[in-house]
Amino acid sequence: MIRSAILRQATAFRSAAATVAKIAPVTGVRAASTYASILTKVLGQDVHVKPKAIPIEDVDAIFKQPTILPMPHNIPVCRVAFQSFQLHRLDFYMDFCRKAAQHMGIPCTGVIRLPRVTRRWTVLKSPFIHKSSMEVFERRTYKRVLVVRDADPEVVKKWIAYIDKNIPAGIGMKHRAIEYESLDYATQIEKNMQTRDPRKISTEELKAVDRTQEVVKRGRRMLWTTYNNLPVYSKSDVANMAQDVINQLKTNPKANIEDITRTVVMGTRPPVNKKPKKAKASTEPSTPSKAEK
Domain co-membership, 81 together with 150? yes
Do 115 and 163 fall within a single domain?
yes
In a domain? residue 75 = yes
Transcribe 28-58 into DSSP letters. Answer: HHHHHHHSHHHHHHHHSS--PPPPPPPPGGG
- Taking alpha carbons only, the member of 112, 197, 178, 95 closest to residue 146 is 112
- Report how far residue 152's alpha carbon sits from residue 199's, in angstroms, rounded to the nearest whole number: 19
Q: Domain of residue 129: give its range.
A: 70-177
Residue 131 forms part of a structural domain: yes
Distance CA 191, CA 189 (A): 5
Mean pLDDT over residues 67-81, rounded?
Answer: 91
Q: Are residues 84 and 109 in the same domain?
A: yes
Mean pLDDT of 189-217: 65
Q: Is the pLDDT of residue 79 over 90?
A: yes
CB 84 within 8 A of CB 142: yes
- Identify the band that residue 288 occupies on the pLDDT scale cut at 50, 70 and 90: low
pLDDT-based confidence at residue 21 (cuts at 50, 70, 90)? very low
Distance CA 290, CA 95 (A): 109
Strand 76-84 versus strand 134-149 pairing type: antiparallel
CA atoms within 13 A on the CB side of 204: 2
Mean pLDDT of 280-288: 55
Q: Are residues 168 and 90 in the same domain?
A: yes
Residue 281 lies in a domain: no
**Same structural domain for residues 111 and 170?**
yes
Per residue in 218-253, pLDDT (tens digit) is 665 555 555 555 555 667 777 888 888 888 888 887
**Kindly report the CA angle at 8 between 5 and 14, in degrees rounded to 5?**
140
**What amino acid occupies position 17?**
A
What total of structural domains would you count in the chain? Answer: 4
* Together in a domain, 224 and 263: no
Whether the per-residue pLDDT at 75 is higher than 60: the answer is: yes
Task: Give domain status of residue 202, yes or no.
Answer: yes
Give a yes or no: residue 82 inside a domain.
yes
Q: What is the mean pLDDT of residues 138-150?
A: 95
User: Does residue 130 sit in the same domain as residue 188?
Assistant: no
Q: Band the pLDDT of 256: cuts 50, 70, 90.
A: confident
d(CA 113, CA 83): 10
Examine residue 60 and state whether it is found in any structural domain, yes or no: no
Instruction: Tell me: do 138 and 77 sit in the same domain.
Output: yes
Domain of residue 143, CATH code:
3.30.70.600
244: buried, middle or exposed (CB in 10 Å: 19+, 13-18, 0-12)?
middle
Do 87 and 171 lie in one domain? The reply is yes
Distance between CA atoms of residues 203 and 210, nearest Å: 11
Average pLDDT value over all residues in the chain: 74
- What DSSP line would sit under 200-259, residue for residue? T--HHHHHHHHHHHHHHHHHHHHHHHHSTTPPPP-HHHHHHHHHHHHHHHHH-TTS-HHH
Could you write out the DSSP letters of every residue in 126-144? -SSTTTT-EEEEEEEEEEE
Is pLDDT at 197 greater than 50 in this prediction? yes
Question: Looking at the domain assignment, is residue 210 inside a domain?
Answer: yes
Q: Is residue 45 part of a domain?
A: yes
Which secondary-structure segment (H or E) carries 192?
helix 185-195
Residues 169, 222 share a domain: no
β-pairing verdict for 117-124 and 134-149: antiparallel
